[in-house]
Structure formats: C-alpha cells, structure tokens
Structure 1
C-alpha cells in the first residue's frame, strides 16, 4: 500500500506540474493574442486551437486531483446521513460507478485517437495531428480512474476515530 501511495504522489506531482505549465502557456498565449490584436492589429489565429485543447487537459487533470482529495465525490448529503456501517459500501459503489464512467470515457477517447491516427487528420490552423489533442481525453480519464481508486482505498482503510 505504501508503494502505491508513493506512486500516486509522483503521479499527482506530475499532474500539478503539467497544470502549472499549461496554465502559464494559456496565460501567455491569451495575453499575447490580446496585445497583438489591440496594438499590432494582427490576430494569432493558432491560439484558439491550442487554448481549447489545453483547456480539456486542464479540466480533466484538475478533476483528477480533486478526485484524489474526495472533492469530486460530492455525495456528502447522502453519505453523512448513513450509518457508519453503510458508508464504506456506498463509497465502494460510488467508486465503481465513477471508474466505470471514466473507463467508458477512456475507451471512446482512445477510439477517437486511434481513428485520427489511422486517418491522419490534422488541425486547421497549426496543421498538427489531431490525435495529439484528443490524447488528452484518455490521459485525463486514466488519471481520474487512478485517483478515484486511491481515494476509495484511503477512505476504506483509514481508522475510525474513537
């Protein structure tokens, strides 16, 4: 269990680093585009493509980190009213449904990535392979699966306060 927790700490650190870098990238691109449009009267057409794709990554990684802390599993209204003996089974059930949903998202995300790899589809402005941007969906959903399981294990193995 300690090895799994250390691995998940490393995964979370990588996710946080990616979030910081991508947020800075979005900030630079957006401010640069506004400056370019207002001062130079030239728009950076590529910024929309990049910013939209990066927002998908940021959203999924942010949700994964939230799931790690239990912030995404927002059924406190129900679970707080349950007897202590029912809390763990409900947590396991919530985790199963969450992992199942993220598994479906991962499956269809990978299906889209593989289809775009086969078709060699490219973006309009940057002319980059579209599979690069679509790969953010399976990456984010895989991180969410890991963190849902991590949170469930943490909740089910923690000692009850006496």
Structure 2
C-alpha cells in the first residue's frame, strides 16, 4: 500500500507541476496578447488556440486532484447523514459510477485523438496537429480514474486517517 501511495504521490506532484506551468503559460500569453494589442496594435492570433487547449488540460487535471481528496466524489450533505455502515458501500457505488463516466470520457477522447491522427487535421493558426490538443482529454480522464480509485481505497481502508494519526 505504501508503494502504491508513493506512486500516486509522484503522479499528483507531476500533475501539480503541469498545472503551475500551464497557469503561468496562460497568464503570459493572455497578458502578452493584451499588451500587444493595446501598445503595438497587433494581436497574437495563436493565443486563443493555445489558451483554450491548455484550459481543458487545467480543468481535467484539477478535477483529478480534487478526486484524490474526495472533493469531486460525493455530496457530503447526503453522505454525512448516513449510518456509518452504509458509508463505505455508498463510496464504492459512487466510485464505480464515477469511474464508468470517466472511462466513457476517456474512450471518446481517445477516439477523437485517433481520428485526428488518421485524418492528419491541423489547427487553423498554429498549424499543429489537432491530436496534440485532443490528447489532453484522455490524459485528464486517465488521471481522474486513477484518483477516483485511490480515494475509494483510502476511504474504505481508512489509510489516510491512519497516516494522519502516525504524523500526529
């Protein structure tokens, strides 16, 4: 279990690093484009393509990290009022349904990536292959699946709570 948690901690660290770099990229591109339009009177036409694609990546990776903490898994208003013995089965049910939904997202994202690869379609302004941007969907969905399962294991085995007691 400890090896599994170390692997998931490394994955979460990579996701956080990608989120930081992506947020800085969006900030630089957006501020630079505004500066360019107002001062130089020339717009950076490529920023829209990049910013939209990176926002998709940020959204899915942030959702994956929220899954890791159980923030995206359930509505506490309902689950907190349930008897203690029904909380674990409900957590498992919610995880199974969430994983099924995310697997569908992964499947259709991969289908779109493979279609874009086969067609050789490219973006309008940057002329980059579109599959690069569409690959953010299955990457984010894959991370979400892993973190949904991680949270369910942590919740059902009380791993996080035991770890917090050790640290205290």
Same fold (TM over 0.5): yes
Give deviations 1:56-94, integer Å, cap 9, x for gaps. Answer: 000000000011011112311111111111000000000
Post-superposition offset of 1:119 = 0.2
In angstroms, what is the RMSD of aligned CA positions? Answer: 1.2
- Give the TM-score of the pair, scaled to structure 2: 0.94
Give deviations 1:19-50, integer Å, cap 9, x for gaps. Answer: 00000000000000000000000000000000
2:165 aligns to what?
none
1:97 aligns to what?
97
Q: Distance in 2 between matches of 1:85 and 1:127?
A: 56
Structure 1 position 152 matched with structure 2 position 145: no
1:22 aligns to what?
22
Asked whether the equivalents of residues 74 and 94 of structure 2 are also in contact (C-alpha less than 8 Å), the reply is no
Runs of 4+ in structure 1 deviating by more than 2 angstroms, as ranges, are none
Give deviations 1:8-29, integer Å, cap 9, x for gaps. Answer: 0000000000000000000000
| Contiguous gaps of at least 5 residues in structure 2 | 163-168
2:122 aligns to what?
122
1:50 aligns to what?
50
Aligned residues: 161
